[in-house]
Amino acid sequence: MRLKSLGIIAAGCSALLFLAMGPLTAADAPAVVTAPDTIKMESKIYKKHTKGVVTFSHKKHAEHKGVSCTDCHHVYKDGKNTWKQGDPVQKCDACHTETGKPPKEMAKKDVIAKYHKEAVHENCKSCHKKMVDKNSDMGKALKACTGCHPKK
């Protein structure tokens, strides 16, 4: 009888230990980073936005248009985008810090690297231009600012 009681106690302790290990193991697992469905493309480098602030839909672009995260998010090293899903995401203005009009004599790649508006427009517009042939509603953003920027 005593041996049977010890067996029951041992089995109970094992079960408790097993249940306690679940949350500890889950705490060690890397967190899955998910993008919010939509983001406002606001930037604090501008005193005032001249157009309505674009609301970008991660969900619409990823699910319905087939856009991958690295089509927008980037960290360039030796000319290659080394950013991958799960890496920290910086706002565009972390690197593209200049406002205003770039000097006309600047090379396009240097303008895009420095100037926020040009970098964002180049990224968005070049993708939309590629997609126009495949999906006619993508062209609206290229024809009028209000295709993406809401009226104020």
Q: 72: annotated binding-site residue?
A: yes
Is 128 annotated to bind a ligand? Reply is yes
Q: Per CATH, which fold does 38-147 belong to?
A: Cytochrome C3 (3.90.10)
Sign of the four-CA dihedral 66, 68, 69, 72: negative
All structural domains of the chain with their residue ranges: 1-30, 38-147
- State yes or no: 13 annotated in a binding site: no
Predicted confidence band at 29 (pLDDT cuts at 50, 70, 90)?
A: very low
Is 95 labelled a binding residue?
yes
For residue 92, say whether it is annotated as part of any ligand binding site: no
Known binding residue 69? Answer is yes
Is residue 127 very low, low, confident or very high in pLDDT (cuts 50, 70, 90)? confident
Band the pLDDT of 92: cuts 50, 70, 90: very high
Q: Does residue 16 register a pLDDT over 90?
A: no
Query: For 115-144, what is the mean pLDDT?
Result: 79
- Residue 74 one-letter amino acid: H
Beta strands 76-77 and 55-57 are: unpaired
Q: Consult the annotation and say whether 121 binds a ligand.
A: no
Q: Max CA-CA distance within the chain? A: 94
Residue 9 has pLDDT above 90, yes or no: no
* Averaged pLDDT, 16-22: 49
Return the structure tokens found at 37: 């469905």
pTM over cut 0.85: no
Q: What is the DSSP string of the chain?
A: -HHHHHHHHHHHHHHHHHHHHHHHHHHHSPPPP---SEEE---TTSSS-SSPPPEEEHHIIIIIS---GGGT---EETTEE---TTS----GGGT--B-SPPPTTS-HHHHHHHBHHHHHHHHHHHHHHHHHTT-GGGGHHHH-GGGTSPP-
Tell which wins on pLDDT, 147 or 110: 110
pLDDT tens-digit map of 57-72: 998 888 877 788 998 9
Q: Tens of pLDDT along 38-47?
A: 999 999 999 9
More confident of the two residues 135 and 113: 113
